Amino acid sequence: MSDVLTGTTTGAVRHRGRNGVPPQFRPPVAPRHFVGRAEELARIRVGGVTVLSGPCGVGKTALALKWLQDKGCGDPLYVDLAVRERLGDLLCAFGLSDVAADERAAVFRSLVVRRQFTLLLDNAGSAEQVTRLLPASGTVVVTSRRKLNIPQAQEIELGPLADDGRIQHLLDQSYVELPERQARLYRLCAWQPETFDVPVAAAIAGEHECDVEDALDDLVEKSLLTEVGDDAFRFHELVRAHARTKR
């Protein structure tokens, strides 16, 4: 079975054996079949701050992970800024549990410099959220759905992946190998414009939720669908476009 787009957002599989970085702060693995983005990969700086901005699902996190995997220097530290209390949790995980709330950012910055971590700040909501965490030196990659306009950062705006035909071929290969229930769900759910959950998919397919749940999990495993949280699913835009061509 050929995987096409290996999901990264739920981050179930993580790098192992890194120097003392607690598992929940290690980056997820990059998509196994990463395609394109050569120009953007070359632009991300070692030493300095790069912000990858662009719409939901365009591939910001995937690009950052691919860069970390191929070119990153130092141990990578992954912080999902969309998770509440992430900084406090992180410091606790490094044994720094009693830091006062207003000193956490400073302690975090010094930890990053001291350990020379390469920092991935994923899902930043604002420039302020990022700037207070920026270490005095080192490499930082930030992802955000918004343009952040941070003065000391270079910002790379990501557009949709240009499809040179390879992706379509891989998708076709994966599609023809799907059992009929999965193939039908793949076709039907692709008409959902955004994120959807099991009850919505079950309603669309006219099937029991438990059957649909298994089939969706199978699509995620085959990298045709992305799980974006607890019981929430989304198609990458290229995959959605592919699914909509199927009858």
Give contact residues for ligand ATP (rule: CB under 6 A): 5-9, 31, 33-37, 54, 56-62, 123, 143, 145, 161, 226, 236
User: Least distance (Å) from ligand ATP to the CB of residue 101?
Assistant: 27
Nearer to ligand ATP by Cβ, of 57 and 72: the residue is 57
Shorter beta-carbon distance to ligand ATP: residue 103 or 164: 164
> How far, in Å, CA of 235 to CA of 196, rounded?
9
* Beta-sheet strand order (sheet of 76-80): 76-80, 118-124, 139-144, 48-53, 153-157
Coil, helix or strand for 79? strand
Alpha carbon distance 148, 130 (integer Å): 9
Residue nearest to ligand ATP (CB): 59
Report if residue 61 touches Mg ion, rule: CB under 5 A: yes
8 binds Mg ion (CB under 5 A): no
Distance (Å, whole) CA 180 – CA 76: 41
Cβ of residue 11: shortest distance to ligand ATP, in angstroms? Answer: 10
Distances (CA, A) of 147 to 39, 124, 137, 142, 152: 19, 10, 22, 11, 14
* Count of positions on this chain that bind Mg ion (CB under 5 A): 1
Nearer to ligand ATP, 104 or 222 (CB): 222
Q: How far is the CB of 104 from ligand ATP (least distance, A)?
A: 24
Give the integer Cα–Cα distance in Å for 238 and 163: 8
Residue 118 binds which of Mg ion, ligand ATP, none (CB < 5-8 A, kind-dependent)? none
Contact residues for Mg ion, defined by CB under 5 A: 61
